[in-house]
């Protein structure tokens, strides 16, 4: 049984993210950071992503079904990143625990190209661990029931 799941971005802002920004290899110290009020709105459109403590990066973590599923995801992310000229940090632990971290290092913060890349990464199909996928569906349902405060 396949556990491939497509966790899509939500809301009108998510579609705009992909249209709005691409580094095309040109993100630099002059690339504007996203304003905090706007960042909160965009983050609601990217429910699988978390803002780090100092608001300089966003990350997404999950458990893949197996090592090959994790590597297949990394390869797909690499294709998207190369096409955008904007590259995330990719981490693999315990052979299937995946973390993707996105920020614009040149500005020390989050830019529109970061948010666009996150939305594109969310469009990549992942073969999740069945146990993780079940827990994630339950977590997201609970977050929706309490207004997203979990």
What's the 3-state SS for the chain?
CCCEECCCCCCHHHHHHHHHCCCCCCCCCCCCECCHHHHHHHHHCCCCCEECCCCCCEEEEEEECCHHHHHHHHHHHHHHHHHHCCCCEEEEECCCEEEEEECECCCCECEHHHHHHHHHHHCCCEEECHHHHHHHHHHHHHHHHCCCCC
Dump pLDDT digits (tens) for 41-70: 999 999 999 999 999 999 999 999 999 999
Q: Domain boundaries in the chain?
A: 4-16+32-141
Q: What is the mean pLDDT of residues 133-146?
A: 83
Q: What pLDDT is attached to residue 26?
A: 63
- Asked if pLDDT for residue 17 goes beyond 80, the answer is no
**72-131 residue pLDDT tens:** 999 999 999 999 889 999 999 999 999 999 999 888 999 999 999 999 999 999 999 999
For 4-16+32-141, CATH number out of 3.40.50.300, 3.40.50.2300, 2.40.180.10, 3.30.1360.20 equals: 3.30.1360.20
């Amino acid at each position: 049984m396949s556990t491939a799941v497509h966790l899509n971005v939500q809301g009108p802002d998510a579609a705009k993210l992909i249209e709005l920004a691409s580094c095309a290899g040109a993100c630099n110290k002059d690339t504007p950071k996203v304003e905090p009020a706007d960042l909160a709105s965009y983050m609601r459109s990217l429910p699988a992503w978390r803002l780090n403590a100092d608001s300089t990066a966003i990350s997404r973590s999950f458990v893949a079904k197996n090592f090959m599923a994790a590597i297949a995801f990394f390869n797909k992310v690499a294709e998207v990143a190369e096409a955008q000229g904007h590259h995330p940090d990719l981490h693999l632990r315990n052979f299937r625990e995946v973390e993707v971290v996105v920020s614009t290092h040149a500005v020390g913060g989050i830019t529109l190209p970061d948010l666009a890349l996150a939305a594109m990464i969310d469009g990549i199909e992942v073969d999740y661990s069945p146990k993780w996928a079940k827990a994630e569906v339950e977590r997201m349902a609970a977050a929706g029931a309490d207004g997203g405060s979990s």
